[in-house]
Amino acid sequence: MKKLILINLLLFAGIATAQEAIIGVKDPEAHKNTDRLAILDTISLPFELSNDKKLSREDILNKKEGFFVTGLPRFEFDPIRGFGVGGNVFFFQNKTKEDPFFYYTPYRYSINTEFFVFENGRIKAAINLDVPYIFNSKWRLRADAVVWEDPNAQYWGIGRESLNNLSFQDKSAGAEGGVRQFNRVNDYEENLKIAVPGNGGRLQTDTHYNQFIQRELLFNALGERVEMGGKLRLMFGYEALFTAFEDYTGRVAEEAFLADGTAVEAVQRQTLVNQQINDGTWDRFNLSGFSDGLKFTSMLAAALIYDTRDLEPDPSKGIFLQYSHEYSAPWLGSDFNFNKFMVQGQFIHTFHRWKNNRNRLTFAGLAAVGHIFGPNINFIEMWDLSSQAEAGGILILGGGRSLRGYREARFMAPTVGLVNLEMRARLHDFNAFNQHFALGLTPFYDFGTVWEGLNDVQLNNFRGAPGLGGRIAWNQSTILRLDYAQSREGGQFFFGFGHIF
């Protein structure tokens, strides 16, 4: 399967390169585009914007005018959910080079639509709207709607103890096997699937020990006003989240095997989420919300952002500092009562450019700390850092957008620290069919840890994983990402859209 994913990326690159050979590297519109730099010196903005927010010279020359559509069908393999099929379609409006914001923003508006279904039944459908400088004002509008259902949502425990090595009863030795530590997550999960005799002689298994069923419906709207020449952003918004969950305890598991590999029917024993709800772990962290009936989380959100990046989807320079806060309370109609905040910093710097500035080597780093507290916390809110810069926040701590070498939600607690380091190398670019493409490689290293609370913070027990990614920038605003990361628990592939930060 790893070969299949790599072949898909190579085929895309090969087709694009073949198109370049046929059509030629030079865009027929390139000569017309050179007057953009002259126009830039004469444009008049309705309000002042800092030069730090201006796009780079190569981004200005390569930027596409008017309305256009990008997107791809997607075929994926997920170690948790099996094969998946779906796609993203992005709609962009850049207007023309006479528009003053053409030189300061990646687009005048964008609409992202996504649909995906996996072999295990996981479904995600989403639509996201983003309108910078709406009506030529200092305001930006963002809105999102997401439908999500996952039969295999991950739960590896809550608290500092989630950092411990994987361990479970060694069922290869029978029903009386002792506790064993597992170095690789695949070996751990294969052990869970082994069926052993239970009470009454019926076979029992632990296939879904670290899983539950999740259903989610999300709506949010966010307004943002820029100050200080566009570098300071003040954001305010509202989020409505409807969630429902089901436990696998007592159900017949889809997969169960005897120690010799023979497939059998077996009942799921107590799951970890069921165990920790009943043993007082959730009470210790003020967690609730695990119900098969819909629970409502009504939240106000705000953020203060200082941003000097030159191109949000694929920046080559700048810093990004953010404090964001979410607040949920019964007076808002919510079933919960909690606060959640995050502090994050990003630094992007290009060390070297070549080939007339078309290729570059850029360092990108992110550091973030998040904390959630309150008398009645919706437990699913611990799954992400409350970034208001993107829908859904930053999923933690593991998976395709945080610690890429570890499973989703592998490490989780009320306080979370995360660091991502990437070296983004753009190695080749070309024009084909009136589209602009840039190909690159991105070695990276992710690491982080979790704490019981702010008073528990200590700089040890971090978990990290290196990796290597491929990148395809399509008309600047669409980034295709293929990452492979290797941790001490195993390796994982991810394919998606956009840098992880």
Cβ 317 vs Cβ 349: under 8 Å: yes
> What are the structural domains of the chain?
34-148+219-231+304-316+328-497 (2.40.160)
- In this predicted structure, what is the pLDDT of residue 11? 37
- In this predicted structure, what is the pLDDT of residue 207? 95
- In this predicted structure, what is the pLDDT of residue 312? 84
What six digits make up the tokens of 28? 């027929």
CA distance 16 to 13: 5
∠ at Cα 477 (353, 91), nearest 5°?
165
User: What's the whole-model pTM score?
Assistant: 0.84
- In this predicted structure, what is the pLDDT of residue 30? 46
Residue ranges, the chain, pLDDT below 70: 1-34, 37-38, 40-41, 75-80, 82, 389-393
For the stretch 382-423, pLDDT in tens is 998 877 766 556 888 998 889 999 999 999 999 999 999 999
- In this predicted structure, what is the pLDDT of residue 41? 65
Total residue count of the chain as it appears in this document = 501
Sign of the CA dihedral with 482 first, then 479, 121, and 215 last: positive
Task: State the number of CA atoms in the 13 A half-sphere of 68 facing the CB.
Answer: 20
Short-list 273, 462, 274, 469, CA closest to 364: 469
For the stretch 304-339, pLDDT in tens is 999 999 888 899 999 999 999 999 999 999 999 999
The Cα-based distances of 424 to 59, 357, 366, 440, 474 in angstroms read 16, 15, 13, 7, 15
